[in-house]
Structure 1
Amino acid sequence: MKIYVAEVLGTFLLVFLGTASVVTGGFGAALPLGQEAIGLAFGIGVICAAYAIGPISGAHLNPAVTIGVFLAGRMPASQVVGYFVAQIIGGILASFALLIIVSGKTGGHTGGFGANGWDPAVWGMSSAFLIELIATFVFVTVILGVTAQKHATAFAGLVIGLTLAAIHFAVIPVTGTSVNPARSIGPALFSGGAAIGQLWLFIVAPLIGGAIAGVVAKTGIFEKD
């Protein structure tokens, strides 16, 4: 049970720190953080969680990472669903916490909750799907690489966090960057509307990307002899 509680907390940290940077800072005139700072917020959120709860659960924080770890042969099937549930709960709790916070904003809050989405007038669905799939594959491949037994390093959490930040720099203009179904579900539930209609993509594409990364890692092609 401890590993699942750790995943709830870790995913909460990631989603709260990342989406709060959008909801309370974001792109508004008052606090124009911009995509670089938002990307760093998500990356630092991963770093915080990795060192806080990594020794307990591995700090997956993301169903796409869990499916990749499982397909790479590094965790039992019996734990996969538990990880998924814990991560989704953590993401929803993070968005609920933001709901409570912004409810006290003078004049009300109309800016959403950092949900992912793409603008059909600018980007086609295929573009959004492909960039999320590829970005998740890259992210999970890095995670599986730096956490492989032969590659063990105390800097794994830092590498993973910086990789996520770099992915945000590249992907935010297209989809707002998910690469994590748990990161997308909570904000979409509280944002409603188009975010709910597009949510499927931010579940399916990352899971496929993570699965491909896991299958590739299973071959050992990127592990040293």
Structure 2
Amino acid sequence: MYEAVIAELDHLDGPDLLAPLVTGRLCGNIALISSFGAESAVLLHMAASIDRSLPVITLDTGKLFAEAIAYRAQLTALLGLTDVRVVRPDADALRALDAAGSLHRRDPDRCCHIRKVLPLEEALSGFKAWISGRKRYHGGLRTDVSTLEEDDGRLKADPLARFTHLEIEAYLDHHRLPRHPLIEKGYFSIGCAPCTVAGGSTDNPRAGRWSGLSKMECGIHRSPAPSCNSARPASDFR
């Protein structure tokens, strides 16, 4: 369905990719998914520079760090985002499956499913495309992330897929964007509080997620298809 769009745009990155998606043929039918995590300010700033009214969907699992909630409010105000949709898990599902709030200890995959996957599926209903902030340098299942792909009938865009850690840091510095408050406490990647510990490195930023388990993803992202856009020219994304 989206082969022509992918062929036309998948060589682009950052705002060069975002702009034609957000203001072009998918205008009004595309949403940005953000965790308001360690590097989220970059993609949110790019999107806000194009259209501050772009729907931004963020998951509040009920297990977030207080610092993460405060950072979400800070970035929303700073960037002037006008349509941030905070999505929460279904209350009935939580009462039935996780009344004690301890499911993450027994079955973290199921916990992610009811607190993240199902709410996001509902929130994306009606949208033809969505934008996420995955990057290849995060490793694991993200090593071969494409900038554009079709995912369950929708177009999925990852404008930062080919960005490096140095480029992310340079963008944050250039635009004087505030860092996540947990970064200075040693967190390189930030998820739910019970399943995230301080740690990680620039080579493996997600090491603190589900520490001690083989689990690498929450389930909202499927394994990427083999990529045909593995390289990009050096660019200045200011």
Instruction: Give the structure, 1 or 2, with the largest relative contact order (CA under 8 Å, sep 6 or more).
Output: 1
Give the TM-score normalised by structure 2.
Answer: 0.27
Tell me which protein shows more helix as a share of its residues: 1
